[in-house]
Amino acid sequence: MKKRLLAAALAATMVAASVTGCAQSGDSKGTGDAASGDTVKIGGLAPLTGNVSVYGIATNNGIKLAVDEINKAGGVLGKKIEYVPYDEKGDAIEAVNAYNKLVQDDKVVALIGDVTSKPTIAVAQKAVKDGLPMITATGTAADITKAGENVFRACFIDPYQGELMAAYAARKLNAKTAAIIYDNGDDYSTGVANAFEAAAKSEGITITNKEAYQSGAMDFKTQLTKIKASNPDVVMIPVYYSDVALIAVQAKDIGLKAKLLGADGWDGVLEKIDKSNQDAVKGCYFCSQYSAESTDPKLQEFLKKYKETYKTDPNMFAVLGYDAMGMMAAAINKAGSTDSDKIVSALKALEYKGLTGNTTFDENRNPVREAVITTISDGKYKFVENFKK
Amino acid sequence: MEFLSQVINGLGIGSIYALVALGYSMVYGIVQLINFAHGDIIMVGAYTVFVILVMMNLPLWLAVLGSILFCGVAGVLIERIAYRRLLVHEAPRISLLITAIGVSIFLQNLYQLLFGSDPKSMPKMFAFAPLQFGGVQLTSSTIINISVSVVMMAGLQLMVNKMKIGKAMRATSEDAGAAKLMGINTNTTIAFTFGIGSALAAVGAVLYCNTYPQIKPVMGGLLGLKAFVAAVLGGIGSIPGAMLGGYLLGVAESLTNAYISSNLTDAVVFGILIIVLLVKPTGLLGKNTREKV
């Protein structure tokens, strides 16, 4: 008796489920799915809240501006782009969940994301299984594009930035000795630090100290005291801006005189240091991928438009976000279809002139172009020069 | 020379642990409650400084005073709202502990809601040129941290041992029932203890902001845990013990970072907790009192 009741209940549930299932599919016909509808759906992943939200919000804003422009100019394949961004809070698990939602529910044809290296690596592994064309605007860890043939990036990779800064220290700053302080719980930071160390040695720079700290540390005086004792010419600090703010202020506090060097994680550091402490980063050098002082009319127009739209100055992440979406749209147009394989081969052969300069992809699907060296003085970012190893 | 510099670095951060540990110790001493929300009071103090100093653009002394008062009042309110009913009804200690964790989570999320989760930068607060002694350099923040913490501890010791309210605190701590019979208002005394402990956390918050100019809603978590370890190490319930524990912990951290590995810093801190609990559960300066039955 009991069993029969159970079976009846189960059957009733199943009928109910299939009825609601029908209703749902009937509803969604109106909006249309990505391939056959009147829009081309491109997914986005970015940390819009949380510790690294400065990056995510800027990247997302840049992407949205690109989508607006492309749609105004007629979209791709004669259809409008529908950009579907999700907030992953800077967390790898949230990023993978959001990715699944993009692929299964939203049925996107391509992905722009993620923003920071750790979640991007996690998402790339999933995207390779699905064969989904993916460009990360700003994920710099070398491993990301190694995941597979369909994973591209718009920004420089970690080792490239480390090598570049080592070459810059040796050739332009005449550094003979260097120290490194890095976050050993972070792929980006260790990646740049190791590449800098190796490249510095081959440039003839002696590494006096290589000091690690744990993610989330607030006190760096111990490491900085050790560095100060060996008095290096430069200190490489390949970490993200909130940590840079703390390290630079404490370095000044203990009287460290060396020039501070950094990579593109420094972008946004001035916004995280109060005016009264900004002299701590005075005279530093970091590499980035574009300069707001460039005379390129396209870039100047973007900067103006961004400021009008979002009431804040764009940073490198916004620019890269814009370019990543531009690259994807150009590739879809060139492919002439939303077929994953065709988009991927179009991306491989792409020559794209964007805000960051002329970009092609190398055999590891990393961009090839010049880097910009930036310094800080009087509380402002200043363009120094374009530099190529 | 470098060794000495590292010890001094450790004393600098240890001073902040010590101030926070004092709050843990006092509250534990009087009601046997590990007030896990205490770490978050530092966060509340830091954000109060931020609001007054940066958002309202008022002078520093007002920010410091405002933060101390606000935290003191917040401490009293938390005791009144969250703990008093449990204390009066002699609820099991585990209920108190769970409530404390609840208050901690509540405060973190409240501030995340109010101010957002990304870190806020603090301005330079007290700064003067570092002092040189031979090869050893004392930075302004280290000097301020150490001297303020020593003055605070001395003041607290005086209050507990010489003033009437201090006598009431000691009496309540020794035997709350008997204290009540002697005409001591134990509820007021307990509330006062929470207030003073929280005010000290605010002082710790000011020192913290001056040393590390960046605050976020979750900053109290690890800081609170480390201060708790400091309190246990020194002997929970003992004021000089909390100070000693704070300094020792700071120095242990700094030396581990400098000479062993920065990967092991937190492992050493919590390793110390385990060793103390195994070898001398009452801590370095704690009295060995038997549980009252």
Residue pLDDT, tens place only, B211-248: 999 999 999 988 999 999 999 999 888 889 999 999 99
The parent domain of residue A333 ranges over 39-156+295-369
Closest CA to A378 of A247, A293, A269, A283: A283
Partner residue facing B212 (CB), from A214, A246, A255: A246
Same domain for A229 and A303? no
Domain boundary among A265, A288, A311: A288
Residue pLDDT, tens place only, A233-275: 999 999 998 899 999 999 998 889 899 999 988 988 888 888 8
In the prediction, which pLDDT does B265 show?
Answer: 85
CATH label of the domain that carries residue A53: 3.40.50.2300
Which residues lie closer than 8 Å to A339 by C-beta, 6 or more apart? none
Which residues lie closer than 8 Å to B177 by C-beta, 6 or more apart? none
Query: The tokens of B67 are what?
Result: 């933060």
Measured CA to CA, the distance from residue A207 to residue A205 in angstroms comes to 6
Query: The tokens of B177 are what?
Result: 């029932």
Same domain for A51 and A116? yes
Q: How confident is the model at residue A68 (pLDDT cuts 50, 70, 90)?
A: very high
Task: Give one word for B147, left, alpha or beta, with left for phi > 0 and alpha for psi -120 to 50.
Answer: alpha
Same domain for A275 and A183? yes
**DSSP output for A367-382:** EE--EEEEEEETTEEE
Q: Do A229 and B257 touch (CB under 8 A)?
A: no
Partner residue facing A274 (CB), from B121, B140, B216: B121
- Is the separation of the CB atoms in A347 and A264 below 8 Å? no
Same domain for A44 and A92? yes
* Domain assignment present for A50: yes
Q: How confident is the model at residue A329 (pLDDT cuts 50, 70, 90)?
A: very high
In the prediction, which pLDDT does A9 show?
Answer: 57
Task: Pick from B2, B4, B9 the residue to mutate for testing the A interface (most A CBs within 10 Å).
Answer: B9
Q: Is the pLDDT of residue A31 over 60?
A: no
CB pairs under 8 A between A and B: 96
Query: The tokens of A145 are what?
Result: 């594009």
* Domain assignment present for A389: no
* Domain assignment present for A33: no
- pTM for the whole thing? 0.76
* Domain assignment present for A379: no
Is there a cis peptide before residue A341, judged by omega within 30 degrees of 0?
A: no
Domain boundary among A288, A308, A324: A288
Residues of chain A with Cβ-Cβ distance to B254 below 8 Å are: 221-222
Average pLDDT, chain A: 87
Give me the helices (H) in A51-186, please. 53-72, 92-101, 117-130, 143-146, 158-171
Distance of CA B56 to the CA centre of its chain: 27
Length of chain A: 389
Q: How many CA atoms lie within 13 A of A3 on its CB side?
A: 0
B136 touches chain A (CB under 8 A): no
* Domain assignment present for A355: yes
Parts of chain B with a pLDDT under 50: 291-293
Same domain for A104 and A146? yes
What residues are paired with A211 via a beta bridge? A181
Same domain for A152 and A171? no
* Domain assignment present for A238: yes
More confident residue, B108 or A315: B108
In the prediction, which pLDDT does B292 show?
Answer: 46
Measured CA to CA, the distance from residue A81 to residue A79 in angstroms comes to 7
Residues of chain A with Cβ-Cβ distance to B257 below 8 Å are: 213, 222-223
Closest CA to A186 of A240, A244, A122, A267: A240
- Is the separation of the CB atoms in A119 and A45 below 8 Å? yes
Chain B residue with the nearest C-alpha to that of A211: B262
Instruction: Report residue A269: phi and psi, to 5°.
Output: -65, -35
Partner residue facing B2 (CB), from A51, A219, A225: A225
What residues are paired with A152 via a beta bridge? A135
In the prediction, which pLDDT does A316 show?
Answer: 85
Q: Is the pLDDT of residue A389 over 80?
A: no
Measured CA to CA, the distance from residue A185 to residue A191 in angstroms comes to 11
Number of domains comprising chain A: 2
Domain boundary among A261, A288, A315: A288
Same domain for A241 and A320? no
In the prediction, which pLDDT does A7 show?
Answer: 59
- Is the separation of the CB atoms in A25 and A262 below 8 Å? no
Residue whose entry in the numeric block shows the structure tokens 């090839």:
A368
Same domain for A198 and A151? no
* Domain assignment present for A279: yes
More confident residue, A205 or A370: A205
Instruction: Report residue A151: phi and psi, to 5°.
Output: -110, 120
What residues are paired with A110 via a beta bridge? A42
**Tally of helices (H runs) and strands (E runs) in chain B:** 12, 4
Helix A187-202 to helix A158-171 angle, to the nearest 10 degrees? 40
What residues are paired with A207 via a beta bridge? A178
In the prediction, which pLDDT does A217 show?
Answer: 87
Measured CA to CA, the distance from residue A283 to residue A260 in angstroms comes to 8
Same domain for A279 and A305? no
Same domain for A170 and A282? yes
Same domain for A127 and A214? no
* Domain assignment present for A259: yes
Residues of chain A with Cβ-Cβ distance to B265 below 8 Å are: 214, 217
Same domain for A282 and A344? no
Task: Pick from B212, B222, B226 the residue to mutate for testing the A interface (most A CBs within 10 Å).
Answer: B212
